[in-house]
Structure 1
Amino acid sequence: MFQLGPAEWQAIGVTVRLCLYTTVILLVLATPLAWWLAQGRSTVRIVVQAIVALPLVLPPTVLGFYLLIVLGPRGLVGETLENIGLRHLAFSFEGILVASVIYSLPFAVQPLTEAFRTLGRRPVEVASSLGAGFWDRFFTVILPLTRGGFLVAATLTFAHTLGEFGVILMLGGSIPGETKVLSVLIYDHAEAMNYGAAHSLSLMLLVFSFVTLFVVYSINRRFEVVRL
C-alpha cells in the first residue's frame, strides 16, 4: 500500500496553504463585488459578470500563459516589482496565489450574488430605517440571512483551488515546497509511471471532491427548506 512520503506531505502543505489563503482572500474581495452585482442588471454589471465568469470557460493554460507574461520579469507587474527592488511573481507561491484568486473568482462571486439577490433589499432597508449603520446591517442582517451563500462560496472556492492544475503549472512550474501542489505532484508521478502513488493521491482528491459536492448540495437544500 502506498505510504505518504516527505514529497507528498510537502505538497499537501503547499496545497492546503494555497486553498486557505485563496478562500479567505476571495471571501473578502467577492463580497462587495457580489453585492454590487446583485443590485441591478445594467450593461456595466453584465460586462463585469462576464469578466468574472471567464475562468469557467477559458482554458486554464491560456489564463496561466497570460499571467506568466504579466507577472514574469518582462511583464508589466513583474518588471515593476523588480524595478522597486522586489522579485517578480512567476514561479513563486505568491504568483500561484494571485493566479488561484483570479481562477477561482467565479466560484466565490456567483453563489454570493445569488444569495444577495434572494435576500432582496427589504431587510436591509428596514434595518436602515431603524438606524442601523452599515456594519450593523452587514453583521446582523445580511450575513445571517445569506450564510448559506457564504458557506457554499467558501466550500467551492477551497475545493476548486485544490484541483487547480493548468494555471499552477504554467505560472508556477513544479518547485517542491513552493509551487508543487497535489495536482502537479500527481502529474509528476504519472509522468514517471509511478501509477500507485498517482492513484492513491487521485483517489484522495476524488473522495474529497465528492464530499465537497455533497456538503454544497446539503447546504443548498437546507436553506431552500428554511426559505419555504
Structure 2
Amino acid sequence: MSEADWQAVTLTLKLGIYSTLILLLVAIPLAWWLARKNGWVTSIVQTLVALPLVLPPTVLGFYLLIWLGPSGFIGSSLESLGLDHLAFSFEGIVIASVIYSLPFAVQPLIESFRQLPQGQLDAAATLGAGWWRRFWTLVIPMSQGGLLVAATLSFAHTLGEFGVILMLGGSIPGETQVLSILIYDHTEAMDYDSAGTLALGLLVFSFIVLVSVYSLQKRYAAGGLGVKR
C-alpha cells in the first residue's frame, strides 16, 4: 500500500471514531425520547431520522452541499462570522456522516430502551433516586447491548459511506479522501490492484463487524447483555 492509501485509512478511522462518538451523544437522548413518547410529533421525528435509509446518498449529499457551502444558509452564516464554510472539509463530512448514520445508532437504542423493565425504574424512583441517577445507574447499564450494537453499526456504516462524502467533500487527500473515495479513484485510474487491496480490506472488516453485531444481538436477546429478565 502507498502512503496515500495509508493516509486514507487513517482518515477513514478518524472519521469513524469522531462520527460514532457524536452519534452516541446525539442518539442516546433522542432514542430515549422516541422510546418513551407517542404522538404525531414523535412519528415525524422518527421519520426524519430514518430518511437516510431510503433517501439516495447523492440526494442527501446535494442538500448538505447547498446548505453547508458558501451560498447556503449555514455556510454563508459561518463566513459572515469570519469562519470557513463546511463544504469540502473534514468537519463537513463528519456532519454528513452523523446525519447519514443516525438511524443506525437510534434504532437499536430505541428497541433497547423499550425493553427496559419499568418496574425497576419505578422502584428506584420510589427509593429517592433522581432521574439523572436512574438513567446512569440503571438505564445505561441495562442497555449496554443496544449501545454496543449502535456503536458498532454506526462505526461500520461510516467507513463504507461514499455518495454523501463524494457530493459534499469531493476527493481531497488528507482532508476528505476516505477509503471508499480512494477505491473509486483507483478504479477510475485503472489501478485495479490498489483498488482490489483496499476493497478486500473493507470486505473482510465488514464481515467481521456483521458477525460481531449478530453475536451481540443474540447475547442481548438471551439476556447476556442489556436487560436482565
- Which category of TM-score, normalised to the shorter sequence, fits these structures? over 0.9
Q: 2:76 — aligned with what?
A: 79
Distance of 2:188 and 2:134 partners within structure 1? 53
What is the aligned counterpart of 1:58 among 55, 60, 65?
55
Deviations 1:173-207 (A, max 9, x none): 00000000000000000000111111111111011
Q: Which residue type is aligned with residue 13 of structure 1?
A: T
Structure 1 residues 127-206: aligned runs within 5 Å: 127-206=124-203
Structure 1 residues 1-228: aligned runs within 5 Å: 4-226=1-223
Distance of 1:127 and 1:15 partners within structure 2? 42
Q: Which residue type is aligned with residue 10 of structure 1?
A: Q
| More divergent stretch after superposition (112-121 vs 183-192) | 112-121
Deviations 1:110-151 (A, max 9, x none): 000010001143322221111112332122111111100000
Q: Secondary structure at the match of 1:119?
A: coil
Distance of 2:92 and 2:7 partners within structure 1? 18
Q: Secondary structure at the match of 2:120?
A: helix
Distance of 1:96 and 1:202 partners within structure 2? 21
Let me know the Cα RMSD of the aligned residues: 1.0
Distance of 1:199 and 1:10 partners within structure 2? 17
For structure 1, the residue ranges without an aligned partner over 5 or more in a row are: none
**In the TM superposition, what is the alpha-carbon distance from 1:217 to its structure 2 partner?**
0.6
Query: How many percent of aligned residue pairs carry the same amino acid?
Result: 63
Q: Which residue type is aligned with residue 131 of structure 2?
A: F
TM-score, scaled relative to structure 2: 0.96
Q: Which residue type is aligned with residue 211 of structure 1?
A: I
Distance of 1:102 and 1:120 partners within structure 2? 30
**In the TM superposition, what is the alpha-carbon distance from 1:166 to its structure 2 partner?**
0.3
TM-score, scaled relative to structure 1: 0.96
Off by >3 Å, runs of 4+ in structure 1: none
For structure 2, the residue ranges without an aligned partner over 5 or more in a row are: none
Tell me the matched-pair count. Answer: 225
